[in-house]
Structure 1
Amino acid sequence: MGNPHFSFVILTYNEEQHLPRLLSSIYGLQATVYVLDSGSTDQTLSIAKRFGAQVKQQAFLNHPHQWHYALKTFDIQTPWVIGLDADHIVSDELKQRLLDFNDQDYPDIDGIYFNRKNYFKNKWIKNGGLYPFYLLKMFRYPLGYSDLNELMDHRFIVPGKTTIWKDGYLLEENLKENNIRFWIDKHNTYSDLLAREEVERRQLLRAQTVKPLFWGSPDQRTAWLKKLWWRMPLFIRPAIYFIYRYIFRLGILDGYQGFLFHFLQGFWFRLIVDVKIKEIIDIDEKD
């Protein structure tokens, strides 16, 4: 008999490097695994099927819509769902927590945050505000849903109370990002989405689903910080953010890989977004 408490849902696209790591890390939990693929041309689908996963395919629009489609399409039979990216690995400590998990122990909880360790170029990026870092990855089904008010960031929303598992980790390491061209191309695409999203928020065409609250849940705190970010002046805020992460949040202690990550993700990416926001605004004003 399969795990009666939770199932896994995983999104994939050409993940033959990553999927075996993830599926091996959750092997033994006896949970049903659903994989929604967006057109892989490598061995992703055969790997998923070899591990016994149920597979469907859907053309990719963006991550929030892909998660929405997965949750609405798969015939999920468990009271809880765990939504993971293909480049995640469930640590042994987190796996033990899941082995011990019983739905009856969480009668008033709708969602559970996992702690994440993020790796870049084979190094754990521990500082710069990246650890501890909590992601709502486990939630009651069908209460939890994908936040479609986001174009780039994807998150799950639950209506009720949440709790945080501070011990046990999701390890996140995208090996494809060791190739800097892949990283730049990926984030260039993300910057298109994020710039369009912010312009729409400035035009009041898009609202935050999560209530901004500094002392709230991890996602409520993120929503509060985003609201502050949107009020900051373009082109200046990336420099402020990089200095905050690299100096004040001790990103400087993360070594060579940390400098690259904090500079690229904290400054370069944010600056490109700001440039594209300005371009969109200029075009709209001409029209």
Structure 2
Amino acid sequence: MNKAFSFIIISFNEEIHLPRLLASIATLNARVCLLDSGSTDDTLKIAADYGVETAYHPFENHPKQWDYALKHFKINTPWTIGLDADQIVSPELLELLKDFKDEDFAHVNGIYFNRKNVFKGRWLKYGGYYPFYLLKMFRTGKGSSDTSENMDHRFMVPEPTIIWKNGHIIEENLKENEISFWIAKHNRYSDLVADEEIERMQALRMQSEKPEFFGSPNQRKAWFKKIWWDLPRYWRPFFYFIYRFIFKLGILDGKNGVIFHFLQGFWFRLVVDIKIEEKLKQGGVKHYVHGE
């Protein structure tokens, strides 16, 4: 059994994805724990076939689900790796993990992997989607889930951290090949984001990460989000889409890439802004301080 690290995965009806992920890490001989939120397909059977330890917890949002997972599973290896079921470990990352020794990283608390995002079979190389660094590996007991957001999930650790630029995880949600699934999913997400932003207007919710442009990838994302929240609603989806499509060359990602950048960069964020206005008119916020 691998003595350096263990894996934690969260799942819900992931029979289409889980075999792919588990096969990609099988040769590492590491402990794998899976937190499921009530799958009705063969997810748990597949996990059992691979010898995966499983537990159940009802789903509220991704950050809270990860928070429960980190606290529930008693990891006894010095490092923990957290992966979503629709991600796989690339051959390059697999080699880095095979060679990993705790003593070589005594000064480090966390390691960022580099994500390759695939939509409808197309790797999104542009539009700000690559390189894209995610903190996925961290010292056990040092890492936590950032529950200050409703939708976007990230792990947090005290600095120092490092980046494995060639340590790729490949993320491809095959369910999203059906566009109606993608739209329904992001319609649900838009409610979470709208509620979250209204709470930020009331100063009921604060960022956990320190916003720094020249900081870690997490701190840099926090800096951009701080700018985003100060931009005028309805205009900011337009600005963001132009930034991704033109300045970050999203137009070069081909037909499926263009569809993704339009839906994720413009449509989704416009729906969020519309829902914020609707919720405010319904009295969702008592003290509105966002410029209206």
TM-score, normalised relative to structure 2: 0.97
Aligned partner of residue 10 in structure 2, secondary structure: strand
Amino acid at match of 1:120: F
- Partner of 2:43 in structure 1? 44
Q: Is the 8 A contact 2:211 2:222 kept in 1?
A: yes
Q: Is the 8 A contact 2:127 2:249 kept in 1?
A: yes
- Partner of 2:158 in structure 1? 159
- Partner of 2:137 in structure 1? 138
- Partner of 2:53 in structure 1? 54
Separation in 1, partners of 2:224, 2:64:
24
Deviation at 1:286, TM superposition (A): 9.2
- Partner of 1:238 in structure 2? 237
Amino acid at match of 1:259: V
Aligned partner of residue 55 in structure 1, secondary structure: strand
Separation in 2, partners of 1:155, 1:16:
24
- Partner of 2:10 in structure 1? 11
Deviation at 1:75, TM superposition (A): 1.8
- Partner of 1:27 in structure 2? 26
Amino acid at match of 2:85: A
Q: List structure 1 segments (4+ residues) > 4 angstroms apart after TM superposition.
A: none
> Given the superposition, is the C-alpha separation of residues 274 and 107 from structure 1 closer, same or farther in structure 2, using an over 3 Å criterion?
same
Amino acid at match of 1:176: K
**Cα deviation per residue 1:178-206 (whole Å; 9 max; x = unaligned)?**
00010000000110000000110111000
Deviation at 1:160, TM superposition (A): 2.5
Deviation at 1:159, TM superposition (A): 1.6
Counting only pairs closer than 5 Å after superposition, residues 98-109 of structure 1 correspond to structure 2 as 98-109=97-108
Deviation at 1:168, TM superposition (A): 2.5
Percent of pairs with identical residues: 62
- The count of aligned residue pairs is 286
- Partner of 2:289 in structure 1? none
For structure 1, the 5+ residue unaligned runs are: none
Amino acid at match of 1:209: S
Q: Is the 8 A contact 2:198 2:285 kept in 1?
A: no
- Please say if 1:119 is aligned against 2:107: no
- Partner of 1:227 in structure 2? 226
Separation in 2, partners of 1:67, 1:76:
14
Amino acid at match of 1:45: L
- Please say if 1:68 is aligned against 2:55: no
- Partner of 2:290 in structure 1? none
- Please say if 1:262 is aligned against 2:261: yes
Deviation at 1:283, TM superposition (A): 1.6
**Cα deviation per residue 1:22-73 (whole Å; 9 max; x = unaligned)?**
0000011010000000000000000011111000011101101100111111
- Partner of 1:273 in structure 2? 272
Deviation at 1:279, TM superposition (A): 1.1
- Please say if 1:196 is aligned against 2:199: no
Deviation at 1:209, TM superposition (A): 0.3
TM-score, normalised relative to structure 1: 0.98
- Please say if 1:214 is aligned against 2:208: no
> Given the superposition, is the C-alpha separation of residues 211 and 49 from structure 1 closer, same or farther in structure 2, using an over 3 Å criterion?
same
- Partner of 1:86 in structure 2? 85
For structure 2, the 5+ residue unaligned runs are: 287-292
Amino acid at match of 2:23: S
**Cα deviation per residue 1:107-152 (whole Å; 9 max; x = unaligned)?**
1110000000000000101100100000000001111010111111
Aligned partner of residue 237 in structure 1, secondary structure: helix
Aligned partner of residue 109 in structure 2, secondary structure: strand
Aligned partner of residue 28 in structure 2, secondary structure: coil
Separation in 2, partners of 1:168, 1:8:
16
Separation in 1, partners of 2:284, 2:124:
41
